[in-house]
Structure formats: C-alpha cells, structure tokens
Structure 1
C-alpha cells in the first residue's frame, strides 16, 4: 500500500495530463491534491475519476467568505466524497466553527464519513517582505501558530502550514493535529515561487503529517522515479 503521507499535487490544466501522470505513478501514490487550476478547469468530474480509481483526494480550494457561504460551499463539495477539504484561517474563528459544524452535520445527514477539514495558515509563497507589505507587524511564524491554535479551537482537524512552522505547531497543538505541508523541494530541485521550503525528510522530521509535492514530481522527466525517491527519503526518517 502506498505511503499516504505523500500527496502528489495535480497542478496541471488538462484531463489528459492528469490521466497520464496518475497512470505513470501507479501504485506509488494513492493520495492526490486537486487545486484551483484543475478544479476550475474540469470541475468535480476529475475528483470522481480519481475516486473511481480508489485514490484519496485533498480538494484544495481554500474557501474564504462569510461563515454561511463557506459552510454551504463545503456541503456542496461533500457530494464529491473528498478525503480532505480546506478553508482559509484568515476568515476567523466564527467562519471556521460554522464550516466545521455544517460539514459534520451534512455528512451525518448523508450517512457518510466526514472529510477532514483543515485551515490554510499563511501561503508558503509569502516571505517576510510580503507579510510586512500587507501591514502585519508580527512575524509569519507567530501568525501561523496563532492561526493554528484558532483552527484547533474552532474544531478543525488540522492546518496547512509551511515546514518552517511545523515543529512549533506540533508542540502547541499535539500529536493528533493534522499538519499538511506544502513547500516541499527535494535536494537539487528549484524552489520556483515557494519561499519557506524544506526537503521531504526535513518536513517529516519536523512533525508534518503529510507532505504535498507538485513540480518535483509532475515536472520531472520520470515522475514515477521522482515519487519513489521522495518515498525512500521519507522512510529513512520514519
């Protein structure tokens, strides 16, 4: 069985590219992230296609709106049977509480398992200069930790956070709190537009529950070999 700590990001725009990548990765990867680019291009059909192939899906849409709109939006997405959904913690405590309550109620009414609901803290593309430019006076690390604690208080299952903040979140929120970590770059791979990055081994060592890897897999000349290399690196610190 594939190691579910690795989530491969399907950050590609077409159905053909998705199918080619999933077939290439085969049994090496069982968990996939469907983000805005792919979902806005193909809609829920691509999630259904993955589920038909017994893959797990992190539907990464970062819902951020007034509480009732986010709650209703999550309930609409429930029909796709994703395994993880997310909202943005910038929406605040009440929005996150409403989202969690609405999703759990809808799942109970439908008689299906409730997806994990996690909160995006601060995008991994942001650095200190970007953060200050938004008018924030504190550090990114402080904001991430504060938002993680708020997400836990709201009843969320975990957060999305960069590997740079993972260890502090783990200490503050406990072992059962889900920490999904993007910004993963194996040694020798370009950081591209990510700023707060770490290797797969470093992220697992810091306390990440799951890591999200995109370009390092889908843009590789041999995606299957790239994924296998990441899995071996993770196993070395298990």
Structure 2
C-alpha cells in the first residue's frame, strides 16, 4: 500500500480540490472526508482517481451492523484504497462493514477510529463516561478492531508504539494530527511531527492544513514527506 503522507483535502467543492491538485506532478495519497464527500458525492472520488491519486475515504461510519454493512457494500463500488468506521460501533458492526466491503468486491483497507485526536482524556472521562486513561481505551478498541478482522486503526502518534508492541508491525496505525514545529495547533489536541510519528510506529500520517493552507503546498508536501521518510 502507498505509504506516502496522506493529504487531507479539506475543501468544500470539487473546483478547489482540482485547483489544489493541479500543481502536483506525482501520484499522491489523499483523504476525502465527510464534508467534501457529502457535498459533492461519488463524483469527487472519480475525479480524483482519474488523476491517478490513491484515496482514503474518511466517512467514519457508525450505526447498527446491518446499516453499516449495506452502506459499505454500496461504497465498495468506488475505487478507493482505504476507508474507515468507528470502533465504538462494536465488533459486530465492524465485521458487517468488512463483509459488505468484500461482498462488493473491494480490496480497500478497512480501518477503525479509536479516539479522535481532538479528544482529551478529560473529555473522554467526563463526556463519554469512559473511565481510566485514554491509552487504555485506545488499546481496548485496537484489540476489538483486530479481532474483527480489520486492517488497522486511526490513532495519534502518541499511541502508535503501544499499538505496534501489542498488535504488531503490520497492523495499520494511521495518524492524523500531524504538524511541523512551525504550524498552528488548530483544533487538534494530540498532535505530533512527521518524524515523531514514524519513529513511534505510525504506518501512515494524515496531514491537512499544514499543506493545504501553505503558500507553497507542493514544497511543503515534499518537506513533510522527507521528514516522514527520514524518521525511519
């Protein structure tokens, strides 16, 4: 699988996406999230794939097993390389999602969100009602995810080494919340640099505003890609 930094296409419309991608003369791995997908539909996936780029469709499905399974079966018709669900939906939901994806003939990697990188331990304890440390919650979700047959999880770089040690090198650890030292923190709580993420066991990183809002996105992408590769 493509292990280049995944660029989060945090745009509202197809025109902005295509304008952003136009200066790049190489295959990219990009993330299409809920805002972009729901406002533009499957056409945005086709447009980006027609340009030769790999796609992580970040929809974070979370519903009863049958609903998620049928939704994933429909999404399997899209030419995507990665897609996700919420681990909080439970093992039956994740198994249904995987079955729907396979039934539709897709070989996309299915991963699960553990705790969002915008979630602090205090929020998890007080608002989600989950006691203990955030690491305990993430590790528990990771075990449930692997047992359900999924390819990996979404987690912050701070938990990647813990997940690697518990579940192995091959279990995907997709890390959002990536920033360089000069970037603004934004609404992320658990953030990390590309070098730290690689050294701590992340298999993929997701980078959004650090690239998309830079004055020279192509140069910034290559800077982050170099840092990611040198972190080995």
TM class by shorter chain equals over 0.9
Corresponding position: 1:49 with 2:47: yes
- What is the rounded CA distance, in whole Å, between the counterparts of 2:3 and 2:203 in structure 1? 9
Partner of 1:110: none
Q: Is the 8 A contact 1:5 1:209 kept in 2?
A: no
For the residue of structure 2 that corresponds to 1:198, the secondary structure is coil
Alignment of 1:35-184 (within 5 A): 35-107=33-105, 113-134=106-127, 135-184=129-178
- What is the rounded CA distance, in whole Å, between the counterparts of 2:34 and 2:228 in structure 1? 27
1:128 CA displacement: 1.8
Q: Is the 8 A contact 1:25 1:227 kept in 2?
A: no
1:25 CA displacement: 3.1
Unaligned runs of 5+ in 1: 108-112
Structure 1 segments of 4+ aligned residues over 6 angstroms from their partners:
none
1:231 CA displacement: 1.0
Corresponding position: 1:13 with 2:6: no
- What is the rounded CA distance, in whole Å, between the counterparts of 2:119 and 2:55 in structure 1? 25
Partner of 2:23: 24
Q: Is the 8 A contact 2:194 2:205 kept in 1?
A: yes
Give deviations 1:119-161, integer Å, cap 9, x for gaps: 0000000112211222221111110111011100000011111
Q: Is the 8 A contact 1:183 1:213 kept in 2?
A: yes
TM-score by length of 1: 0.93
- What is the rounded CA distance, in whole Å, between the counterparts of 1:101 and 1:15 in structure 2? 31
Higher relative helix content: 1
- What is the rounded CA distance, in whole Å, between the counterparts of 1:97 and 1:5 in structure 2? 28
TM-score by length of 2: 0.96
- The RMSD of aligned alpha carbons is 1.2
For the residue of structure 2 that corresponds to 1:86, the secondary structure is strand
- What is the rounded CA distance, in whole Å, between the counterparts of 1:197 and 1:57 in structure 2? 23
1:100 CA displacement: 1.2
- What is the rounded CA distance, in whole Å, between the counterparts of 1:232 and 1:5 in structure 2? 10
Q: What is the number of equivalent residue pairs in this alignment?
A: 230
